Amino acid sequence: MSKKTTEQYLLMPGESGWELWANNGDGEKGQVRQFETGLSKAGEIPSLPNGDLTMLFPVRSVTATPLQVSSDDEALFEDLAAMHVERLGLRTDPMAGQLTDFFVISKSAETTSLLPVMLRVPAEGDLPARGPRAFDLSARAMPVTGDVVALWKEFGRWVFAIYQNGVLAYCQATADDSASPGVLLSREIGFALIQLSMQGLNLQPARLLVFSPDQELDVSGLREPLRLPIELRAKPAPVLPAQLSKLLPADVRAARREATRRRNMTIGVAAVATAYLGLIGWLGYGMWKDSAETKRLLAAAKAAAPEGETYALYVAKWDELSHAIELQHNPVDILNRIASCIPPNSGLRLRSADISALSVKLIGEAPQLQAVNTFSLKLGNHNELATFEWQTPEPNQSTRGWEFVFSGEVPSGDIQP
């Protein structure tokens, strides 16, 4: 008998609303569109089938900021991408979840092209009622090859993406909702290519792909000023990249933590209930054997009833003591997480660290300003320090370098009773 596999589903933006695709594990051929909702809010979808759900964010939800770096050391890519995003003035709320990620476009012996992306904080109704297993971008699921520009509609507006050797290098949403793409849209693509060239990414697409269900669509307005061969095709079935993104909004992350907590609580209650029911069963058997023992056994069952209240009281007391006894609230463990954010070989050191489960105050110094900025950035992006709201004012220059005083506090609304 063959083992039943979990159904794989893909929620992606369509031309007029969210689409649901099913995958039977046979690559692109295995992707079958189940339905198109006509809804632009994923939270308004009435029901989703059971199974593993992956959600592809629309192009309008992300900001792409490609760059070229003079390094091929993969260990530096994350910090370089984060510093590039911050230098552009784009800063995410650490309490909103993992909203940034980066992808490698191309890599050579001396330089690497990276695509950092920042996800807009999802608004009410932007996420489906059932939390997806993973997230990625719709532009990364387009199966294209070579150096091309792809153009399609999402939620009634045109979006475009630029690919290098079939790898996403840039994507952008537009405000153009016209039936046919025209000269203004062509110029917007041209401006994007010029801007990328100024940033060191000399992308030279060989053709322009227009994905549309209307094979009679008028695309003549795109010929100027791009002057690229234009191919009109039906939109292909999505193909997920080999490695999915790390994007994870806070609502889904919190839901997963709560589900784990509820599951552990259910297991504990079930264990107590099983023991209790076992006791009742054993006592019931004695009652059946000897009616003279019935009264005594009923008294024993009644005496066992307060165990549920005792267990509930125990759980409440455990929650009250969580900040004192759970490892994640231990000052030494918190200090270890903070120490992991110190850039290696940077000379940055902490002169003082006042740490508790609810607040942190760090006083330190570093010979270089960049080391302090990198340390500040890593504190804000560290998943295991996400419960703290960090205050990282500008450091002060001293005779020994740069001195800083950083502080972090757990918001009162996030403190568990």
The pLDDT value recorded for residue 325 is 53
pLDDT on residue 305:
63
Answer yes or no: are the C-beta atoms of 16 and 37 closer than 8 Å.
Answer: no
Tell me: do 303 and 332 sit in the same domain: no
Domain range holding 210?
59-119+137-237
DSSP one-letter string for 316-327: HHHHHTHHHHSG
Residue 69 lies in a domain: yes
Same domain? 161 vs 71: yes
Nearby residues of 368 by Cβ (< 8 Å), 6 or more positions away: 346, 347, 401, 402
Spatial contact of 321 and 357, defined as CB atoms under 8 Å apart: no
Mean pLDDT by 10 residues, the chain (417 residues): 68 94 66 88 88 92 92 89 87 80 90 93 87 92 95 96 96 94 93 91 93 92 89 93 89 49 62 72 64 70 66 60 60 88 91 88 93 92 88 90 92 61
Same domain flag for 302 and 348: no
Q: What is the pTM of this model?
A: 0.60
Q: Residue 222: inside a domain, yes or no?
A: yes
User: Is 32 part of a structural domain of the chain?
Assistant: no
The verdict on residue 94 lying in a domain is: yes
* Count of domains for the chain: 3
- Residue ending a domain, among 285, 305, 320, is 320
Q: How far apart are CA 116 and CA 66, in angstroms?
A: 6
78 with 194, same domain?
A: yes
201 in the same domain as 154 = yes
The answer to whether the beta carbons of residues 85 and 118 sit under 8 Å apart is: yes
Cα-only R_g, the chain: 28
- The predicted pLDDT at position 253 comes to 41
Same domain, 270 and 336: no
CA angle, corner 191, sides to 188 and 192, nearest 5? Answer: 90
CB atoms < 10 A from the CB of 321, how many?
Answer: 10
What pLDDT is stored for residue 258 in this prediction?
A: 47
Q: Is 17 domain-assigned?
A: no
